[in-house]
Amino acid sequence: MRILGAVKKHALSAGHIGCVGDVTTLNVARGCAGACVFCHSRCLPGAPDAGQLLLYFDLPQQLRGEVEQRRKAPPPSYVVFSTASDGFLGGAPVLQVTRACLEILLNRDIGVSLSTRGMIPEDVLALLGRHARHVRVTVPLPSLSDEYTRHWEPGAVLPQQRLYLIQRLLQVGIQPRVRIEPLIPFVNDHTEQVRDVISAVVGLGVAEATIGFLHLRPGVAEQLQREAPPDMQRLLLGSFPSEGDFRHLPAKTRVGGLRRIQRIAREHGLHVSACHCQNPGIPAGRCPVAPPELPTPRGQQGALFE
């Protein structure tokens, strides 16, 4: 992975999550070292070429100035961290920026919500544990198969490493939320594969999980055609209606899949739901984004970024 320096106008940005509302976001990089075949962030305008990552080296200093100045509005109650990248993938330079930004936010009692397909180092786990009530960590775990990870998430850590991360989060006082997603037709959505994931996380002490089905945002279908295993491409893309730029599996397929997985989860004592903004047309709830003891921001926060 080639890491290049980049600059941005503001450290904090105004964002919107469909089933939550207005949020404040922070990305340490443009692009993602995870290189997931289904990743929509790699298709966004301005995304770097494959094998490159644009890292905001000066982001900690910029962030410190923004939260200390406060400008026209107080700092946000929490920040959704790395919505279009992964702060724990890409090696030491990425981790250095991530660690510094987390310290700035948490030492000012600003909550952090983050998701990672990487490993969180012990010193950062200790930091998160000291501020556990201000922290939400989500760990995507769509399969226990190393082969799945190598084919579909080649830059991410392997499933056993993610299970270890879940265990360590619990040990430092953070109840992680597991995301069993994306569920990809004919790849990792089989009953026994999902049952194995559920059994593994329940065995560690996880109480809640979310699921999500693969959906094709603009550019993702073309990316799948370039990078997905050749024997799966026609079968997979044929599962999606051909109309529109934002393509979902048929609602009947997703409702049936959700109910099937929820039955398996109940057998193991796990509560499973789907978020509404990524799963329109099926019974779903809100994204588990906000740290559990912090309020969800409502209304406009644009004054922070003027």
Exposure letters 259-273 (e unless 16+ CB within 10 A, then b): eebbebbeeeebebb
Sorted by sequence, the CB contacts under 8 Å of residue 209 that are 6+ apart come out as 177, 178, 179, 180, 198, 201, 265, 270, 271, 272
* 42 found inside a domain: yes
User: Residues 119, 88: contact at Cβ < 8 Å?
Assistant: yes
What's the rounded mean pLDDT across residues 283-294? 78
Count of the separate structural domains present in the chain: 1
What's the pLDDT at 207? 92
pLDDT digits (tens, 9 = 90+) for 108-129: 999 999 999 999 999 999 999 9
Mean pLDDT computed over every residue of the chain: 90
Q: What is the CATH number of the domain that holds 261?
A: 3.20.20.70
* 67 found inside a domain: yes
* 223 found inside a domain: yes
* 167 found inside a domain: yes
* Domain encompassing residue 278: 2-293
Residue 221 β-bridge partners:
none
Q: Which of 72, 74, 68, 76 is nearest to 26 (CA)?
A: 76
Task: Give CA–CA dist 111/230, Å, rounded.
Answer: 43
* 304 found inside a domain: no
Taking each helix axis from N to C end, the angle separating 92-106 and 59-69, rounded to the nearest 10 degrees, works out to 10
Task: Give CA–CA dist 101/242, Å, rounded.
Answer: 42
pLDDT digits (tens, 9 = 90+) for 85-95: 999 999 999 99
Position 37 pLDDT exceeds 90: yes
* 271 found inside a domain: yes
* 105 found inside a domain: yes
What's the rounded mean pLDDT across residues 50-63? 94
Q: Give the global pTM.
A: 0.91
pLDDT digits (tens, 9 = 90+) for 272-282: 999 887 788 88
* 230 found inside a domain: yes
User: Residues 189, 257: contact at Cβ < 8 Å?
Assistant: yes
What's the pLDDT at 296? 56
Pairing of strands 29-30, 52-55: antiparallel
Position 304 pLDDT exceeds 50: no
Position 248 pLDDT exceeds 60: yes
Q: Indicate the burial class of 65 (C-beta count within 10 angstroms; 0-12, 13-18, 19 or more).
A: exposed
